[in-house]
Amino acid sequence: MRSIRSLMALVVAAGLFLAPAAFAQSAHHDARISLEEARTTALARVPGTVQSEELEYEGHRWIYSFEIVPSVQDRSGIEEVNVDADTGVVVSVEHERG
């Protein structure tokens, strides 16, 4: 029983030690494409007003994610446009209801 407690304490300590490094790596990425370039690409696909933008790791790659209120409102909601942060290619466009 004592060895199980020791093992659990070791696992918890390792997690506390490694978690900040993992978080720092996931929160930072040296993207080849700038945020401004990605925003221009996204707005070329869906003209409108950007409500939010962020760099995130999704689907095994870094992407810029933009929530855009389209200038032409043929339906309610926003369009989410994702641009690959390394290639600048639009990887997805999804309609989100408002």
Q: What is the distance between the alpha carbons of residues 83 and 97, in angstroms, rounded to a whole number?
A: 20
Residue-wise pLDDT tens digits, 7-58 = 455 545 555 554 444 444 445 678 899 999 999 999 999 999 999 999 999 9
Closest CA to 37 of 86, 95, 91: 86
Q: What is the distance between the alpha carbons of residues 41 and 59, in angstroms, rounded to a whole number?
A: 20
Instruction: Tell me: do 7 and 54 sit in the same domain.
Output: no
Range of the domain at 21: 1-30
Instruction: Tell me: do 1 and 40 sit in the same domain.
Output: no
Sheet architecture: strand order including 61-70: 48-58, 61-70, 78-84, 90-96
Instruction: Tell me: do 51 and 26 sit in the same domain.
Output: no
Instruction: Tell me: do 21 and 40 sit in the same domain.
Output: no
Q: Domain containing 90 — which CATH number? A: 3.10.450.40
**Confidence check: pLDDT of 67 > 60:** yes
Instruction: Tell me: do 55 and 90 sit in the same domain.
Output: yes
Instruction: Tell me: do 45 and 90 sit in the same domain.
Output: yes
Main-chain phi, psi angles of 70, to 5 degrees = -65, 145
Between 56 and 2, the more confident residue is: 56
Number of compact structural domains in the chain: 2
The backbone region for 58, taken as left when phi is positive above 0, alpha when psi lies in -120 to 50, beta otherwise, is beta
Instruction: Tell me: do 11 and 52 sit in the same domain.
Output: no
| pLDDT value for 24 | 40
